Chains A and B, each alone.
Chain A
Amino acid sequence: MELLVCIKRVPMVGGRIAVTADGLAVDTKMLGFTVSPHEECAVEEAIRVTERHGGSVTVLTLGPPEAAEQLRDALALGAHRAVLLETDGREWGPAATAAAIVAAIRDREATAGRFDLLLFGNEAADSADYQVGIRVARALGLPCVTAVKQLEADPAGGPEGAAGRLVARREHRGATEAFAVALPAVVTVKEGINLPRYPSLPGRMRARKAPLDTAAASFTPDPLERRKLRVPTSDRKGAEILGRGPDAVPALVDLLDEMGVLA
């Protein structure tokens, strides 16, 4: 099976997130960068599918030149090819991002053949727009399942003319929703679908030297115009200490009773 995984480079924010002086960006001077968590799982899932059924994994990102680092991380884990849609570092909105990805997919499919499965993270750790994968699916006329926590791809199944089928499962209000969909399809996955592996040393060596397919992406502004980023303030004074150890339990139970949660 031929798989595409779209990933996003995001800063590794630790405790409190710092904002730049102009209030327009996260201050990343002291931060490293990583692949957004849901997308790390998308890469892992794609590699597992090819380990089982053969084929190859292409990773794609839209980002600054430095996003090559995240593509190489994916290559080190076992992805086969990497595509960088290079920006000038400005932040793109979801509609423009989806349009650029669609153009890149059409371009590749024209020469290299069709992707059978296109994986995205359910939402990026920073912007959480929850729509890039869906917009891409609709533009390409493909079915789309989101928030997926379990995936079984079967290249042999599906109706006549399909590239196979998949069954995707997710949680919804304590129950499981299952979707059976013909391939090709778009699936956006959530953390928990798998536990991503660590890269091997040979994998890292290979990834360092692997060629990246780079194309420039020209910026389209988003109708959402940022005015300010801010860390939410709280009027909380910090916790009132009820006591230490088991001796504090009677006071705690009184409190639970007052809150009305004992009934």
Chain B
Amino acid sequence: MTVLCLVELDEGRVADASLRALRLARDLAGPAASLAVAIAPPADPAALGTEGPVLAELGDQGVATVLLLETDGLAPGAYAPAALARGLASATAELGAVLVLAPANTHGQEILGHLAAIADLPFVANCTTATWEEPGVLTLTRQRWGGSLLEDARLAAPAALLSVATDAVTPAPAVTPTTPTVLVHRYRVEAGELDVVATTEPGESGGVALSNARVVVSGGRGVGGPEGFGELEELARLLGGAVGVSRVVTSLGWRPHREQVGQTGTKVTPELYLACGISGAVQHLAGCQGARHMVAINTDADAPIMARADYAVIGDVSEVLPVLVREVRARKERAGR
């Protein structure tokens, strides 16, 4: 029996979201089944060489087999979801995989969506846990309403696809590391599957990507207006993080929508989420519940964010933040950082 996990690379390493999906995939494979991963050929072929970190990282995850999905007409590093799903379908058939997992991000979900249609398999999105009840029957929990509600369910299917809620599963190494075997898996696309290919354009922000940021400095209505975000940007820069915002801030046109954290925006999993003037609607909390630490700055000690935050400063963002920026800068300078 084999469990297959889709893995993506990010700057020459296994993407953080993929590590999270791998954790659930490995738990489901258990000692009895084999854990395999499928990867699209990276733009830099050396990334999968024995000199690079990727194979070691996958070995730390207990991966037995790495399938490199190759097809004619798709250049290394290119992204074509329908074609990659065809490659995954072909790999699934060859391995006899009973489960295919991927992170619940855009690439993972859309590839599983295509695979579900190609192979006529059930696809359960945003899983937080899954265990075997018996062969062919899974007991699982998945997020609904962006994680504000959990659904416990039973899935009886000879084979299935699961996307893994990356804000609910933390990466962890395997107890027993492996030395993965790399195999090239060649597949043939069908008509139209290379018609949708991504062209990557540089981002507008140029800063740290919100979805991967270690620190997110986030602002809500309590920031007071678009001009108040200068301090948030400066603090994010000092902490090597990204600026996030609540939905009301984008609705008011203070900041672009790409910075929105929440159920309909970006889901973040930083070490620190600093919520400035954010009351904490469930739709917003759904986007930052995966934060390791949360600190709130808010005038209202009874705001819903206080129930979720670990620490809080009661006060006006416009008074606290300039002092915080100054103090962080001074502390960093003193430490020579």
Interface residues of A (CB under 8 A from B): 13-17, 19, 26, 37-38, 93-95, 98, 123, 125-131, 133-135, 137-139, 141, 143-147, 149, 169-182, 190-192, 195, 222-232, 234, 236, 238-246, 248-250, 252-253, 255-257, 259-263
Return chain A residues, CB-CB under 8 Å to B157: 223
Q: Which of B129-159 contact A (CB under 8 A)?
A: 143-157
Contact of B182 with A by CB under 8 A: no
Q: Could you write out 25 A-B pairs with CB less than 8 Å apart?
A: A130-B125, A131-B109, A131-B116, A133-B113, A135-B117, A139-B117, A171-B258, A174-B208, A174-B210, A178-B200, A179-B197, A179-B198, A191-B257, A223-B156, A229-B151, A230-B150, A232-B147, A232-B148, A238-B307, A239-B309, A239-B310, A246-B320, A248-B313, A250-B327, A252-B324
Q: Quick one: which of A131, A238, A253 has the most chain B CB within 10 A?
A: A131
Number of interface residues of B (CB under 8 A): 99
Chain A residue with the shortest CB-CB distance to B205: A174
B142 to chain A, nearest CB (A): 9
Main secondary structure of the interface of A (DSSP, over half): mixed
A15 and B286 CA atoms in complex are apart in Å by 12
Known: A175-B203, A262-B337. A19 touches B251 (CB 8 A): no
* Cβ B200 vs Cβ A261 within 8 A: no
Return chain B residues, CB-CB under 8 Å to A195: 251
Return chain B residues, CB-CB under 8 Å to A241: 301, 311-314
Given A130-B112, A238-B306, 11 additional A-B pairs, CB 8 A: A95-B122, A123-B109, A146-B81, A149-B257, A172-B106, A192-B260, A226-B152, A230-B149, A244-B314, A250-B327, A261-B215
Return chain B residues, CB-CB under 8 Å to A98: 117
Return chain B residues, CB-CB under 8 Å to A224: 122, 124, 153-155
* Cβ B116 vs Cβ A95 within 8 A: yes
B317 to chain A, nearest CB (A): 11
Contact of B250 with A by CB under 8 A: yes
* B106 partner, pick from A135, A147, A176, beta carbons under 8 A: A147
* Cβ B293 vs Cβ A259 within 8 A: yes
* Cβ B295 vs Cβ A255 within 8 A: yes
